[in-house]
Structure 1
Amino acid sequence: MRAFFRNVSPRRAIVDFWQVFTAPSEYRRVGLLMAAAVTGTIFYAMAMEGGTALPRPPEIIYFPSFLEGRSDAEILAENKAATAKAKAEEAEEEARQERIRQMYKAVGDATGVETKRAYEEGKAEREAWRKKVEAARKEVLDKHMVDNPVYDAEMKKAQTEKP
């Protein structure tokens, strides 16, 4: 066991290094430069990895809709405004998509391609998708909403006013 520790001792490693380094050889300088280049490359790669500091803490954004002291009327007004904005954006996007569809239809008509059937099929698919999404939303709301006669009356009133 002593022979093993004698061969791996730091003193023995330094003595071996000095003997090899001081021995006359035509490749001594090249070997030294290559060893320094490899070692320097490894240290440079480790330095470029970063990680010298802790990451920045996350930035917290507080929503003004969750402020304390709001009345139910303020909450309802904010919800109605947000819903109207979302519906307006959705209608604007649908109008943009319809303009694109009309352009494709005009190109198809000009080139002699039958576009009416494809347009009607697409319209039916979009309507079926809207109904499916609306049914899924209603299912989620029915599952998680508590009975609210005021809300139910407003929904019935809004549905009867819808053309």
Structure 2
Amino acid sequence: MRILKRLNPIPGVRDFWSEFSRPNEYRWPVLVVSLLITGTLFYSFTSEKTYIPPAAPEVTYITSFDPDRTDEEIMASNIANQQRKDALAARQQQREELRKELYRELGRASGLDVDRMEAEIEADRESGEPSGAPSLSENPRADTAE
């Protein structure tokens, strides 16, 4: 029962009424402003905004093939497409070989041992470890803090 004596609101209400009933020219404007602030806060917390969900988009499918194709027509178009892909891959491989050969000639003209470098690259590919990257023991700056 002791806690009810501490939380009793009656003395607080009596104190408020004694202060409010005294003649003061600011009591009504202060009361109106405080009620407006409180009402605005309650309204902003309790108002709920409801949005209409957007309409589902219309999907238009574009077909580039005749839906009534026969299996033979499908196989023929697949074979033609595979031949185009193979020709494109062969041309790409030729371009890569030409590029490699140009770099080999540039390396030989610069005085590099291109054959040894290619052998090292092939050995690295087979072992899975890059030998060109320096290890920590070979790096002179590895011991110094930056």
TM range, normalised to the smaller chain?
0.3 to 0.5
Query: Which has the larger helix fraction?
Result: 1
Instruction: Give the TM-score normalised by structure 1.
Output: 0.38
Greater C-alpha radius of gyration: 2
Higher relative contact order (CA 8 A, sep 6+): 1
Report the TM-score, using the length of structure 2 for normalisation: 0.41
